[in-house]
Amino acid sequence: PDKHPGKSCSQPLFTAVISARTFQLNLWKKWSKQPPIRIGTRTSQGFYYSTECTFFQLLEGPEESVKRIYEHICNDPRHYNLVELLYDYGPSRRFGHAGMELFDLRRYDREEVLQQVLNKGTTRYQLTYNDRALQFFRTFVEATEKENYFEIPPGDTWEFIPEEDAFSRQPPVIAKGADCSFAFQPIVDPLTQQVVSWEALLRTPSGGSPAVYFESLTGNAIYESDLKSKQVALSMASALGLEGQTLSLNLLPMTLVNVPNAVDFLLKEIAANGLVPEQIIIEFTESEVISRLTEFKGAVRQLKSAGISVAIDHFGAGFAGLLLLAQFQPDRIKINRELVADVHKSGPRQAIVQAIIKCCASLEIQFCAVGVEKAEEWMWLESAGISEFQGHLFASPKLGGIPPIAWPEKKFDI
């Protein structure tokens, strides 16, 4: 993108881009008995033919030029499954003398092509074999990371139409006399079309957010209200007919520490609404847990002894991350929206999500992804091994009621 390729510029930037094709397609294997299909461009008849090509591309030059050309590539309908692996700054260009070069790996010996690529480099970088950008080249040529890239079909392969049912047609329930209300949102397994759990999300009576509800409270009143609100959540869940289902409730970790007999209060309310502790999951936010871990672990012992499950919410958003799992293992982990957003396009997010999945699998911790808004996000996450999801793509929270769920329907018969 630089008109003067030989010249080193003041703040050069490089971005490595990979546009991946079919390496693995777990989603399809899981969904139907058909063999995995290589998917390329959709034809006017509505089916797909294979355009078998994976490109690995390094762009470098002034930041604005690189961004512009990258955007151009992203918007070019001939490319798909574009993943950004690296975005970084450096003192000069690695391939300052090369204009645009294309190496067709099918026509080279692997060792040879790598040397050819490196030979094109500016002298300084020819010697820097541990440079990240050059390592990406090496890995791509040697094809050692293939199993980590999933090809996903285009987003419009699926239709998401919210489906009214007996549950969602019920009129909303109102918590009479209470200073709070709840919205309900499902965590779903889209491929088996099952609701894993219903999460009760705190609202003001008029539907204001949890932040608005807590705004007017200070000191211990925050914790007392947090706990007392669960009485409302449980009775609304019961009124909505969720007795046979799993119910997720959010609590500040310190609510259990600061309010005397908090667990007993919860157990009493669970029973009073015709529920059992085994169907309740309490979610705690990662960053709040880590700041007072010892006290928190004591409270968790009480919950677990009573049969209540524990989930860590907003996992990956705080500062503790995977280290938290060395100190305490929850039953479930909810992978945060910040990692989920555009995961299909981000190499770093993909690597982090894969590490979390691997860790959870080793420790037999169940996991789900939260805040899924795009079909592509869901398809990538499903290919990576996640099967439980929460997000607007499937259902949005509904105040005092059960929202209709949009189960994914395959639009084209492929």
Give the HSE-up count for residue 249: Cα atoms under 13 Å, Cβ half-sphere.
28
- Subset of 337-376 contacting Mn ion (CB under 5 A): none
- Please tell me the count of residues contacting Mn ion according to CB under 5 A: 3
Q: Identify which of residues 186 and 347 has a Cβ nearer to ligand C2E in the complex.
A: 186
Q: Residue 172, exposed/middle/buried by CB under 10 A (0-12, 13-18, 19+)?
A: middle
Return all residues near 87 (Cβ < 8 A) that are at least 6 apart: 13, 15
When the beta carbons of 80 and 367 are compared against Mn ion, the nearer one is 367
Contact status, residue 378 vs residue 367, Cβ threshold 8 Å: no
- 28 or 367, CB closer to ligand C2E? 367
For 372-412, the DSSP string reads --SHHHHHHHHHHT---EESTTT---EETSPPPB--EEE-S
Residues 7-46, interacting with Mn ion (CB under 5 A):
none
* Residues between 238 and 267 with contacts to Mn ion, criterion CB under 5 A: 250
- CB nearer to ligand C2E: pick between 118 and 399: 399
Euclidean distance between CA atoms 235 and 241, whole angstroms: 10
Do residues 401 and 170 lie in contact, with contact meaning Cβ atoms separated by under 8 Å?
A: yes
**Smallest gap from residue 394 Cβ to ligand C2E (A):** 8
Compute the least distance from the CB of residue 307 to ligand C2E, in Å: 20
Q: Which residue lies nearer to ligand C2E by CB, 84 or 373?
A: 373
Of 84-92, 169-177, 273-281, 308-316, the window that binds Mn ion (rule: CB under 5 A) is 308-316
Give helix 132-142 / helix 110-119 axis angle, nearest 10°: 160
Three-state secondary-structure class, residue 335: strand
Which of ligand C2E, Mn ion, none lies near 332, with the C-beta cut-off 5 to 8 A by kind? none
Least distance CB 397 / ligand C2E (angstroms): 5
| Residue 345 binding result from ligand C2E, Mn ion, none, given CB thresholds of 5 to 8 Å by partner type | none
Of Mn ion, ligand C2E, none, which one does residue 189 interact with (CB within 5 to 8 Å by kind)?
Answer: none
Q: Residue 101: which of 121, 81, 83, 84 has the closest Cα? A: 121
- Judged by beta carbon distances under 5 to 8 A according to partner kind, the member of ligand C2E, Mn ion, none in contact with residue 226 is ligand C2E
Q: CB of residue 396 vs ligand C2E: minimum separation in angstroms? A: 7
Instruction: Name the residue with tokens 């080249």.
Output: 137
Per CB under 6 A, residues contacting ligand C2E are 185, 201-202, 209-210, 226, 229, 250-252, 283, 285, 313-314, 337, 370-373, 390-392, 397
Shortest CB 62 distance to Mn ion, Å: 37
Name the residue with tokens 């008849």: 45
Select the binding partner of residue 22 from Mn ion, ligand C2E, none (C-beta < 5 to 8 A, by kind).
none
DSSP string, 92-114: S-TTTT--S----GGGS-HHHHH
Kindly state the DSSP code that residue 130 receives in the 8-state scheme. T
Kindly tell me which of 157 and 390 has the beta carbon lying closer to ligand C2E.
Answer: 390
> What residue ranges bind Mn ion (CB under 5 A)?
250, 283, 313
